[in-house]
């Protein structure tokens, strides 16, 4: 049969789970501060725009627009690259965990070098146990009676389905938020009878950093959902085949999973916790043996 349930509880593998949890947590902290800072700046810029005429005679419109554009460029040129490093380290730790649990070889061509021991050990030392999000029994799905390759495929399907649904919901919520911002600003501009130039400089320019971030989130998650859906269909086809999947076929599925983890945008921890329970229930249902 399979030994995935046993392998995932080994101390050397639990160390990797602890490390990836810390690495992703640190990345999400930076990401949260990035979003919070952007939102706060947007609020301040809009507030300054509303009261500036009553306080000073200088037109601050071009300066406000310059600040908004500067924030956008800083995000695109610096912060995105900094976050990418954290995501890559977290994805590598998670990939190494899966490889060890599945008894699957590391694909250096796709994933590069294995994560450095110093990175893993340093992150693991900072791990704090959270009873609401335990690491034991990581693959808590039913794997009894499955051959090793079949069990690997079931775990991969769980990862694919969970990530796909989480990103699908997050993408849709970002679209709704972006539409609310644009439509609300347009309605306000219409009420105050603003010109097109006034609408762009007084309403769109101050909210540009937030709109850009939302559009990035939408496009990135839309791309990730599409990619995950294609891999999910391929994995489903393997499961429905009369033949047991080969390790080479499973390796190809795993490579796609790694790329998705490394390249896709981070999901805020609060949003993840908000969706977690329902996603786990639906995922178990969708990867069950009988559909």
Q: What would the pLDDT profile of 149-203 be if each residue is shown by its tens digit?
A: 999 999 999 999 889 999 999 999 999 988 888 888 777 777 767 666 666 666 6
* Per-residue model confidence (pLDDT) at position 61: 66
* Per-residue model confidence (pLDDT) at position 102: 96
Confidence check: pLDDT of 290 > 50: no
CA dist., res. 266 & res. 30, Å (int): 11
- Measured in whole angstroms, how far is the alpha carbon of residue 179 from the centre of its chain? 21
Report which DSSP code applies to 287.
Answer: T
Q: Collect contacts of 42-51 with beta carbons under 8 A, ≥24 apart.
A: 42/206, 42/207, 42/209, 42/210, 45/206, 46/206, 46/207, 49/202, 49/206
Q: What would the pLDDT profile of 16-53 be if each residue is shown by its tens digit?
A: 999 999 999 888 887 877 777 766 776 676 666 666 66
Q: How many CB atoms lie within 10 A of CB 261?
A: 21
Domain ranges in the chain are 4-136+145-286
Is the Cβ–Cβ distance between 158 and 14 less than 8 Å?
A: no
Pseudo-torsion of CA 9, 12, 18, 19, nearest 10°? -150
* Per-residue model confidence (pLDDT) at position 155: 93
* Residue, of 46 and 249, whose pLDDT is higher: 249
pLDDT over 70 for what percent of the chain?
81
Q: Out of 17-26, 64-73, 142-151, which region has the weakest mean confidence (pLDDT)?
A: 64-73
Confidence check: pLDDT of 246 > 80: yes
Confidence check: pLDDT of 81 > 90: no
HEC assignment per residue over 122-146: HHHHCCCCCCCCCCCCCCCCCCCCC
* Per-residue model confidence (pLDDT) at position 200: 64
CA dist., res. 157 & res. 286, Å (int): 9
Q: Which residues of 224-247 are buried (b: 16+ CB within 10 A; e: fewer)?
A: bbebbeebbeebbebbeeeeebee
Structure-token pair, residue 274: 């908000």
Q: Which residues of 168-198 are buried (b: 16+ CB within 10 A; e: fewer)?
A: bbbbebbbeebeebeeebeeebeeeebeeee
Confidence check: pLDDT of 291 > 60: no
CA dist., res. 275 & res. 202, Å (int): 36
Q: Out of 3-12, 181-190, 202-211, 237-246, which region has the weakest mean confidence (pLDDT)?
A: 202-211
Match 């990401």 to its residue by tokens: 31
pTM of the model: 0.77
């Amino acid at each position: 049969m399979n030994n995935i349930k046993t392998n995932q509880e080994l101390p050397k593998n639990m160390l990797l789970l602890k490390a990836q949890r810390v690495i992703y947590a640190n990345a999400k902290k930076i990401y949260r501060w990035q979003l919070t800072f952007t939102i706060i700046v947007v609020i301040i810029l809009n507030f300054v725009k509303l009261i500036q005429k009553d306080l000073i005679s200088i037109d601050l419109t071009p300066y406000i627009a310059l600040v908004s554009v500067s924030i956008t460029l800083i995000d695109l040129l610096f912060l995105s690259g900094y976050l990418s490093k954290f995501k890559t380290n977290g994805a590598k730790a998670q990939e190494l965990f899966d490889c060890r649990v599945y008894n699957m070889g590391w694909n250096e061509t796709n994933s590069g070098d294995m994560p450095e021991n110093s990175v893993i050990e340093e992150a693991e030392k900072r791990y704090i146990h959270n009873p609401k999000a335990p690491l034991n029994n990581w693959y808590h799905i039913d794997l009894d009676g499955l051959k090793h390759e079949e069990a690997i495929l079931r775990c991969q399907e769980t990862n694919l389905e969970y990530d796909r649904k989480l990103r699908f919901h997050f993408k849709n919520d970002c679209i709704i938020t972006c539409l609310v911002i644009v439509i609300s600003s347009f309605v306000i501009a219409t009420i105050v009878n603003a010109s097109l130039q006034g609408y762009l400089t007084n309403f769109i320019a101050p909210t540009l950093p937030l709109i850009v971030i939302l559009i990035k989130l939408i496009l990135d998650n839309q791309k990730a959902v599409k990619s995950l859906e294609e891999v999910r269909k391929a994995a489903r086809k393997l499961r429905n085949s009369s033949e047991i999947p080969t390790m080479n076929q499973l390796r190809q599925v795993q490579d796609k999973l790694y790329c998705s983890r490394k390249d896709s945008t981070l999901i805020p921890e609060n949003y993840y916790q908000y969706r977690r329970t329902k996603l786990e229930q639906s995922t178990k249902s969708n990867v069950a043996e009988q559909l």
